[in-house]
Chain A
């Protein structure tokens, strides 16, 4: 890009490439957006912040033609457009990289890249052109992916690159990212940032939705904050913006420290893991967790943390080693025996392993106590209801009623409901895998509070997390894994982000 062109993009008087004004979106019973404005300039990265349910995702769907606004205008390059479907938005040069990637697992990377516009001659696929263009765009993104690989075999980071490649192939001038780094490893995050900067320098307008403050300050040139479907603040430059100010704007009140950690008495060893080996581990793993202790597990994606937890909870069969709970050896390899012995698990992939989406909030809370409460095989509805009411109240689960389907709740509230399952259980060790992924600031603070309460009761807590600030702030001790091995055991007062990351990088 020439310097003249760069100057043009930067000049403040140039009209915004994308201008939304007065956008109103209503769903039955809910006003999702109440007259929202957003201006995004070419050659800039525009951050969108807000708690879950604030309206960011709805706004992205308006930009992509999926949600049709009741009123308001969409202008691209000064020209007013009305979208009737996804195809219109693509035509206008707008592409959205959703948090949940929209790829077809069974088709090849090349076919996914050109989904909806496969190169063809008279209806027949032009395979040479398909491969050539896919190779060109993947090379352009710096990805070493064979275009004929089915997307189902690619890593999350690679899939995201395919999704970005789709936008590039359509010559999108406006690209919106919806929490793009939430499931990427540290290395993939760096790569993504590089790509975002490059897209910006090419004169595209980037919309960047994120919960992560560090990313926002590193990447964005402007930021808009949403709350309850309305724009509550707009900062055209980042110069005057501070983290505290953004948090205040997002939640409508000041949260001094969302982590709120304070020292806690730590008791005797609850769980002793000795020489555990199994799939995903390259060396035997040994460690202890004490009563009332919160132990963090940090590492890059693929370091073996999730695999270790699966062995511990019996969902995967260990090939060697032992787990001792309160002095009693655990017979491993069965989730049921692990639960009976007092190990509770809150899985990483909430949608797939955690919730029963179409069941009610009450059922989701009671699923683990049902057997214990039941008498002669009959469900004790009265007792279950009390249990659910208590959990919903104690954990501040925001739901219309206990009978609401859980999938309609925000991620944070789903997570709180799942945690509610274990409150009335007698557990010794609680394992949480990425408990706050994709969850907004307000709900995160509540989830941390729940963890502290559980630890206070003398339960040993394991938190697997890829969020460096989180793992360094809420844990009493952090174990670091890299490449299927335990590489460090860092006590609270020695934790620094640099140190944790240093141990997490494969040697």
Chain B
């Protein structure tokens, strides 16, 4: 491999058009797959393109989608966060309890901040104490689920304030708040990743932490910040979910972390850090959503849906491997 490393750039410049095409395929490969899939589903699945179905589909991916945007940052950093499902449940419970006591606006704020606090804790443990994030967030995943049960007293907490209900019901241009929040998180975090110093520093840390440290990048601070961001966004998603359900449920969103990570990986985000695109994540989220939706419309039994989801994830990763060819191992 060493040799091919040093020789790749020696390739003659004449192949630059071929290379551009290849790069285009490499960058947009999963997007093309998604478009083909969309056409096939539209043609074969009845009612798939109806406006009611599209609205429902978008709403169904808001939870995964909103959090996938910040999970992209965490993965780009070379870390992982398994605690998001518990954060969603916890912040939902905190939100509904606080809303019932203090009113809807403060309740919403408390819910989001509760998520941020867990994120801060994760960040401090991972960055400050140098604990592997897989282990650290596995621990908070358990502990925070416990906090959710404790703060709810074991049962779901119903929301009393009507304006809290109204939060997720409000719609603009035919789409409701959760959908807009998801769009906003895609746009904002995509912008942050690509256009801000913060985002490029995140990719640098994920790509080569030693290089980043020696270049004077504040590695610890950035790591903490990314986990806080993840916590805040998971908190917001949890509050919106609570608003949609009308209750803060401590049992909700078990296994959400795997769905979110799957969507990111589908979108070509590297689990070893340093490689991420927001377009990939958006497509990853939509592929998962569309397949789920189509299976619902086709009345595929629930047990088989698991099988299909697993298969799709595996195929996507293999596709990614195939299209990058040997380059993947060079970049690592």
Which residues of A approach B to under 8 Å, CB–CB?
Answer: 64, 66, 86-87, 90, 96, 102-107, 111-112, 115-118, 120, 123-125, 149-150, 152-156, 158, 166, 280, 301-302, 306-307, 310, 348-349, 352-353
Contacts and interface: CB of A to CB of B under 8 A. Distances in A.
21 contacts: A64-B214, A86-B215, A90-B216, A104-B203, A104-B208, A104-B212, A106-B275, A107-B274, A116-B201, A117-B216, A118-B201, A120-B197, A123-B197, A124-B195, A124-B197, A125-B195, A154-B9, A156-B6, A302-B3, A348-B3, A353-B1
B208 A86 contact: no
Nearest to A315: B1
B1 A349 contact: yes
Contact of A111 (B200, B216, B275): B200
B6 A152 contact: no
B5 interface: yes
B331 interface: yes
Contacts of A86: 213-216
B2 A306 contact: yes
Contacts of A306: 2-3
Given A116-B215, A125-B196, A349 B2 contact: yes
Nearest to A302: B7
B10 A302 contact: yes
A106 B9 contact: no
Given A302-B3, A302-B6, 18 more contacts: A64-B214, A86-B213, A102-B210, A105-B207, A105-B208, A105-B332, A106-B331, A107-B204, A112-B211, A116-B204, A123-B198, A124-B195, A150-B331, A153-B9, A155-B8, A156-B5, A302-B7, A310-B3
Given A87-B216, A116-B217, A124 B196 contact: yes
B2 to A, nearest CB: 4
B213 A120 contact: no
Contact of B274 (A64, A105, A156, A158): A105
A155 B6 CA distance: 4
Contacts of A155: 5-10
A90 B211 CA distance: 13
B330 interface: yes
Interface size, B (range): 20 to 34
A65 B5 CA distance: 31
Interface of B: 1-3, 5-10, 195-198, 200-201, 203-204, 207-208, 210-217, 274-275, 330-332
B195 A352 contact: no
Given A302-B7, A302-B10, A118 B214 contact: no
B3 A107 contact: no
Contact of B3 (A104, A112, A153, A280): A280
Contacts of A87: 216
A66 B215 CA distance: 11
Given A102-B211, A153-B8, A115 B204 contact: yes
Contacts of A150: 331
B204 to A, nearest CB: 5
A36 B14 CA distance: 53
A418 B222 CA distance: 40
Given A104-B208, A107-B203, A111-B204, A66 B214 contact: yes
B196 to A, nearest CB: 5
A159 to B, nearest CB: 10
**8 closest residue pairs by CB, A with B:** A116-B215, A102-B211, A104-B207, A87-B216, A306-B3, A115-B215, A116-B216, A349-B2
B207 A106 contact: yes
Contact of A105 (B215, B217, B331): B331
Contact of B212 (A116, A123, A310): A116
Contacts of B9: 149, 153-155, 158
B214 A104 contact: no
Nearest to A149: B9
B3 A102 contact: no
Contacts of A353: 1-2
Nearest to A86: B214
B80 to A, nearest CB: 18
Contacts of B216: 86-87, 90, 116-117
B196 A106 contact: no
Given A111-B200, A156-B5, A102 B214 contact: yes
A353 B196 CA distance: 37
A166 B3 contact: no
A149 B10 CA distance: 13
A235 to B, nearest CB: 30
A123 B196 contact: yes
Most buried by A among B203, B216, B330: B216
Nearest to A279: B4
A221 to B, nearest CB: 27
Contacts of A116: 201, 204, 212, 215-217
B44 to A, nearest CB: 38
Contacts of B8: 153, 155
Contacts of B198: 123
A156 B5 CA distance: 8
Contacts of A125: 195-197, 200
A307 B2 CA distance: 10
Nearest to A123: B196
A16 B277 CA distance: 49
Contacts of A156: 5-6
Nearest to B11: A153
Contacts of B7: 155, 280, 302
A306 B1 CA distance: 9
A195 to B, nearest CB: 19
B200 A103 contact: no
Given A102-B208, A352-B2, A152 B215 contact: no
A268 to B, nearest CB: 31
Contacts of B213: 86
Given A124-B196, A152-B330, A152-B331, A103 B3 contact: no
Given A105-B331, A349-B2, A352-B2, A120 B208 contact: no
Contacts of A112: 211
Contacts of B196: 120, 123-125
A64 B213 CA distance: 11
Nearest to B273: A106
A115 B212 contact: yes
A125 B10 CA distance: 30
B93 to A, nearest CB: 34
Contacts of B210: 102
B32 to A, nearest CB: 22
Nearest to B7: A302
